[in-house]
Amino acid sequence: MTRDPKHDILFEPVRIGPRTLRNRFYQVPHCTGFGAEKPGSQARFRGMKAEGGWAAVNTEEALISSDTDYWPVVSTRVWDEDDLRNLSLMCDEAHKHGSLAGIELTHGGVHADGRESRRPSLGPSQLASDYHPFVVPKAMELADIKRIREDWVRAAKLSRDAGFDIVYVYGGHSYLPLQFLSPFYNKRTDAYGGALENRARFWIETLEEVRAAVGDDCAIAVRFCVEALGPAGVELDEGTGFVVLADHLVDLWDVNVGSITDWSKDSGASRFFPEGYQLEWTGRVREVTAKPIVGVGRLTSPDRMAEIVRSGAWDLIGAARPSISDPFLPKKIEEGRYGEIRECIGCNVCIMKAEWGNHIGCTQNATAGEEYRRGWHPEKFEPAANADNDVLVVGAGPAGMECAIVLGKRGFRRVHLVDAAPEIGGVMRWIPRLPGLGEWARFLNWRAVQLEKLKNVEVILGTELTATDVRDYGAEIVVVATGARWSTDGLNAYTHVPIPGADASLAHIFTPEQIMLDGKAVPGKRVVVYDAEGYFTAAGLAEKLAAEGHDVELATCLERIAPVTDETLEGPMLRQHLHDVGVRQRAGFLAAEIGEGFIRGTDEFGEPVELEADAVVLATQRLSNELLYLELVEDVNALHAEGIDALYRIGDCVAPRIVAEASYDGHRLAREIDSDDPATPLPYTRERIVLESAAIGT
């Protein structure tokens, strides 16, 4: 395979101040849940991308001192030498692979609510945080301004000494420098408020001091949202106005859109934003600077990347999510292995998993976040010690497909992936057909290509296996990946019993699969979709049925419509969108009974409510399809008699979870199938402080 020459431009080096990027692929700062608290995970996670060809890898936001504290959201802290000692491991990993390491130094200002440090938040003016409305900052005195500049310089020097090549003066997503710049936050009447030049003063002074301190050794980068797409920041004219004012102090402009409250427009889910969507705003920055520019927009198409560079709009292709989904994206383009690229599907599960004290993971890339603690490499697979066996995987959903692929790569003699359905995919056969989720099909497409390539993996479709079939199959190892189904009787988290009258064998009551796979006709005009789960399924079905001409009400017993989508940054836009397409929304409705023509229950205050409904769709909870597994495991002697040495189950068949977890579970079993007890995950390396008694003075 060779690279298309039109992509050669992506592999030109780019100079940024005193440093040189080896190509145009740039991993912009993004959260992981690691910070300086999990230094091994941080180092290996970023190092993997460096190995995969990203010319620079950056930390997440790095808080410069203890008066900017967001705990329990894990940002990198650069409060003292120990934090930097931890982060220096990441620099070593980046350098080992010829990449630059960058650190996104910042101060959260108003939004840093000091939950651990107990220090007040600080702002240009005393205006409550729009992100945490109960947090009211101290209006900064001139002494505070001076101290923070000094903290920034100190953090920059420590960063340089730790090995970082790129130092940011990050304004954000509406963090302190941008809060000074934005009239939404800054109502000062002194030299730091008023005209743009005054509002830019804090940022420019900080840049001057940081540049004087480390500018000979490190590239100085500024990242900020040039267009807030809402009130919490600046509009494009002031964004570019700031670029003009600060250009002489900056080696790299890292530009995006949105704000902390409108982060959903920066890390845009594929449901609402196509690839490259930020270019509309960030592409305008070129008009005011000749310095290198990096932009983002969930770019995975090399043609599009080359086009952008050729157009002159950006010099570097920035990525957070595409680099999580495929750390080897640059290498694969470089080597012309286009079909191997594991394209990000834009589901934002990485954000759900990285924010709020979690540990990053990814729907497409089961190894994301496991590089250090489990030692997994996304492109390397050890031959299995028990590879001279046949493995039967029953069920080709996310868990079964991922498991079969990894088993195939680990060199098993033969892997048989069998599914009752006429196509592979399991739930992914229909999820991408929900409105807005078309890009999720990439999950299936990548796996279809892999399965096709693996000569030792055979896919057998349209074959439903019974326990007897499995025993007779002739494989020594059996993995049951039969997935889950939606409850047909309204069983749900709130009552733990079925809803009286709910029975999806009736003509007017539906499960999601009956609509998406079975083609069961929805009668009448009025449809109520009843959601007790809160993620995308009910909302998607409501939108689909409304588009088909039904009069749809989406009712949920939860406090809000689709609250889980808030964790993927889709929630507010999704609720607005449902409203715009005519879906009525009712939260706090607990269903008590369903009958012909109605669903009745109570509102959040216990008052009775009856909704007219010709049809009711139930998205209440899922249940594992575990009967096959239970029947097999019940009779171990019968298994052994047929030469089956091992039986496992994976994915939703164990417990119904999100696709990322089902896929991870299949991957995990295949990675560990030659361990002493493959059914139980091997312990992973934890990163925490272990104190001796002397350390606490006893």
- Interface residue list for ligand ADP (CB under 6 A): 394-400, 418-421, 426-427, 464-465, 481-484, 625, 628, 651-653, 662
Q: Of the two residues 90 and 360, which places its CB atom closer to ligand SF4 in the complex?
A: 360
Could you tell me the CA-to-CA distances from 237 to 265, 335, 428 in Å, in that order? 18, 41, 43
Q: Which does 590 bind (CB under 5 to 8 A by kind): ligand SF4, ligand ADP, none?
A: none
Kindly state whether residue 325 participates in binding ligand SF4, applying the rule CB under 6 A: yes
Q: Which does 324 bind (CB under 5 to 8 A by kind): ligand ADP, ligand SF4, none?
A: ligand SF4
Q: Which does 39 bind (CB under 5 to 8 A by kind): ligand ADP, ligand SF4, none?
A: none
Taking alpha carbons only, the member of 583, 352, 623, 393 closest to residue 486 is 623
Q: Which does 169 bind (CB under 5 to 8 A by kind): ligand ADP, ligand SF4, none?
A: none
Taking alpha carbons only, the member of 34, 13, 35, 56 closest to residue 218 is 56
Selected binder of ligand SF4 within 23, 348, 556, 663 (CB under 6 A): 348
**Cβ-contact 135, 204 below 8 angstroms:** no
Nearest distance in Å: CB 522, ligand SF4: 31
Q: Which does 398 bind (CB under 5 to 8 A by kind): ligand SF4, ligand ADP, none?
A: ligand ADP
User: Are β-strands 76-77 and 56-63 bridged in parallel, bridged antiparallel, or unpaired?
Assistant: parallel
**Cβ-contact 174, 259 below 8 angstroms:** yes
Compute the distance between CA of residue 614 and CA of residue 110 in angstroms, rounded to an integer.
Answer: 50
Handedness of CA 241, 198, 265, 352 (dihedral sign): positive
- Interacting stretch for ligand SF4, rule CB under 6 A, among 167-175, 317-325, 329-337, 404-412? 317-325
| Catalytic residue list | 175
- Interacting stretch for ligand SF4, rule CB under 6 A, among 84-92, 361-369, 392-400, 680-688? 361-369
Nearest distance in Å: CB 564, ligand SF4: 14
Nearest distance in Å: CB 376, ligand SF4: 15
Q: Which does 345 bind (CB under 5 to 8 A by kind): ligand ADP, ligand SF4, none?
A: ligand SF4
**Cβ-contact 138, 123 below 8 angstroms:** yes
Nearest distance in Å: CB 230, ligand SF4: 22
Selected binder of ligand SF4 within 31, 232, 324, 574 (CB under 6 A): 324
Q: Which does 628 bind (CB under 5 to 8 A by kind): ligand ADP, ligand SF4, none?
A: ligand ADP
Taking alpha carbons only, the member of 551, 618, 557, 565 closest to residue 587 is 557
3 state DSSP class of 226: strand
Task: Name 447's Cβ contacts closer than 8 Å, sequence gap at least 6.
Answer: 401, 402, 405, 424
Compute the distance between CA of residue 232 and CA of residue 697 in angstroms, rounded to an integer.
Answer: 47
Nearest distance in Å: CB 79, ligand SF4: 29
Taking alpha carbons only, the member of 62, 147, 45 closest to residue 102 is 62
Taking alpha carbons only, the member of 351, 356, 377, 357 closest to residue 366 is 377
Q: Of the two residues 464 and 596, which places its CB atom closer to ligand ADP in the complex?
A: 464
Could you tell me the CA-to-CA distances from 537 to 421, 442, 530, 616 in Å, in that order? 21, 18, 10, 14
Q: At residue 468, what is the residue type?
A: T
Kindly state whether residue 358 participates in binding ligand SF4, applying the rule CB under 6 A: no
Selected binder of ligand SF4 within 349, 465, 628, 644 (CB under 6 A): 349
Nearest distance in Å: CB 391, ligand ADP: 15
Selected binder of ligand SF4 within 250, 362, 393, 431 (CB under 6 A): 362
3 state DSSP class of 97: coil
Nearest distance in Å: CB 474, ligand ADP: 16
Compute the distance between CA of residue 578 and CA of residue 563 in angstroms, rounded to an integer.
Answer: 14
Q: Of the two residues 45 and 664, which places its CB atom closer to ligand ADP in the complex?
A: 664
Nearest distance in Å: CB 340, ligand SF4: 16
Q: Which does 465 bind (CB under 5 to 8 A by kind): ligand SF4, ligand ADP, none?
A: ligand ADP
Compute the distance between CA of residue 327 and CA of residue 331 in angstroms, rounded to an integer.
Answer: 9
CA dihedral 391, 395, 400, 404 (to 10 degrees): 40
Q: Of the two residues 296 and 662, which places its CB atom closer to ligand ADP in the complex?
A: 662
Kindly state whether residue 527 participates in binding ligand SF4, applying the rule CB under 6 A: no
Kindly state whether residue 364 participates in binding ligand SF4, applying the rule CB under 6 A: yes
Q: Of the two residues 23 and 364, which places its CB atom closer to ligand SF4 in the complex?
A: 364
Q: Of the two residues 192 and 473, which places its CB atom closer to ligand ADP in the complex?
A: 473
Nearest distance in Å: CB 360, ligand SF4: 9
Q: Which does 399 bind (CB under 5 to 8 A by kind): ligand SF4, ligand ADP, none?
A: ligand ADP
Compute the distance between CA of residue 371 and CA of residue 473 in angstroms, rounded to an integer.
Answer: 36
Kindly state whether residue 346 participates in binding ligand SF4, applying the rule CB under 6 A: yes
Q: Each residue of 555-583: b (16+ CB within 10 Å) or e?
A: bbbbeebbbbbbbbbbbebbbebbeeeeb
Binding site for ligand SF4 (CB under 6 A): 321, 324-325, 344-350, 362-364
